[in-house]
Amino acid sequence: MFRDEAKVFVKAGDGGSGCMSFRHEKYLPKGGPDGGDGGRGGHVIFVADESENTLLTLVRNPHIRAKKGGYGMGNNRTGKNGEDHLVKVPVGTIIKDFETGVALKDLADPEQEVIVVKGGRGGYGNARFKSSTNQTPRRVDMGSAGEERTLKLELKLIADVGLLGLPNAGKSTLVSRVSAATPKIADYPFTTLDPHPGIVELSGWRRFVMMDIPGLIEGAHLGQGLGDKFLRHVERTRVLVHLIDLAPDGPTTTEEQYEVILGEIRSFGGGLADKPRIVVYSKADLIQDPEERAEELNAALGVTGYPISAITGLNLDRLLEDCWRCLKPEGD
Ligand SMILES: Nc1nc2c(ncn2[C@@H]2O[C@H](COP(=O)(O)OP(=O)(O)OP(=O)(O)O)[C@@H](O)[C@H]2O)c(=O)[nH]1
Ligand SMILES: [Mg+2]
């Protein structure tokens, strides 16, 4: 899990001032005070919205102000309440006080909302100050100031797609090619030591998180290599992409590499082996006829993989669309 962050300043609307007014009518020269109260200032409300998926808009517009309440008016009319300012944030946004770091709200569910700063109360008009001893009060209230504070927003992102493969299979290269992430890439095993997320953006505002993890080797469940603890980072993903090197430079064949990973995810348990898994053959640019080799491998392994290349871009769009389809089975 990693975070998108934003720092925002929010200010609710000030309450409108009360009105000073006396009733004057033809046959009622001293009709008494009739100044209405001011309206309440607008609140700033954050609401979790499923169509939002980034805090970027807030990073770019970090000052949010709600409207002031209207002034009170004569004839005992109350001022209009200031319009509330609704801010849509992605589901999963945690709102914290910037100074103290204390969490105010975790907007975990769609449509959930919270008033982060309250609008000021409208001031009393002079009609409120009328008493038996003061029939002509010349006093009104200003209305109180709207609350203000600085907030820190954090968006929890849970990886949607997890990558699996032996060291050097090309996992980090793939993430760096399809997202803005810049993981370390090198031609030696165990380049990646920690899980590393990348945000993949597709046309039509579609977006998902792809998690790059360290390579697995045979016996990882027994602690070989870097072990298999980091598999818990892909345990909650909805789909796995299994990369198999078409041009392995060690003694293990492509077929054996596939079996090694399968064995390790079975040993890890946690339902990992039953998750939807897309098989791809990486580094297609390094061999002569990758399509033919893919068919051969599919027949031998009983899967429906296809070749990809992070260098030439072969089938990368297809892979991302396949990931998306697995993430959105209802087809929206
Ligand atoms: N020709 C070619 N080389 C690739 C491709 N993808 C990755 N490589 C190379 O393969 C090597 C390993 O790539 P990485 O992306 O670091 O592999 P990894 O799976 O992340 O490896 P670990 O982090 O060690 O588990 C690097 O030298 C890459 O340049 C590809 O599509 N074509
Ligand atoms: Mg890597």
Cβ of residue 65 lying under 6 Å from some atom of ligand 1: no
250 Cα: distance to centroid of ligand 2 (angstroms): 17
Residue 63 lies in a domain: yes
Residue 182 has pLDDT above 80, yes or no: yes
Partner residues linked to 183 by β-bridges: none
Same domain, 79 and 181: no
Domain count, the chain: 2
Same domain, 144 and 246: no
pLDDT one-digit tens code per residue, 261-291? 999 999 999 889 999 999 999 999 999 999 9
Q: What is the pLDDT of residue 152?
A: 96
Nearest CA to ligand 1 atom 30: 283
Q: Which of 121, 156, 191 is the last residue of a domain?
A: 156
Residue 332 lies in a domain: no
Residue 165 lies in a domain: yes
Q: What is the pLDDT of residue 1?
A: 41
Same domain, 79 and 197: no
CATH number at residue 118: 2.70.210.12
Same domain, 82 and 28: yes
- Name the residue among 242, 324, 311 with its Cα closest to residue 283: 311
Cβ of residue 168 lying under 6 Å from some atom of ligand 1: yes
Cβ of residue 315 lying under 6 Å from some atom of ligand 1: no
Whole-structure pTM value: 0.66
Residue 51 has pLDDT above 90, yes or no: no
Give the number of the ligand closest to the Cα of residue 311.
Answer: 1
Q: Give the dihedral of Cα atoms 192, 193, 194, 199; nearest 10 deg.
A: -10
In sequence order, which residues have a C-beta less than 8 Å from that of residue 251 and are 6 or more positions away?
none
Cβ of residue 191 lying under 6 Å from some atom of ligand 1: yes
In sequence order, which residues have a C-beta less than 8 Å from that of residue 284 and are 6 or more positions away?
246, 290, 307, 308, 309, 312, 314, 315
Q: Kindly state the DSSP code that residue 300 receives in the 8-state scheme.
A: H
Q: Which of 104, 122, 156 is the last residue of a domain?
A: 156
Domain containing residue 19: 2-156
- Name the residue among 272, 241, 265 with its Cα closest to residue 174: 241
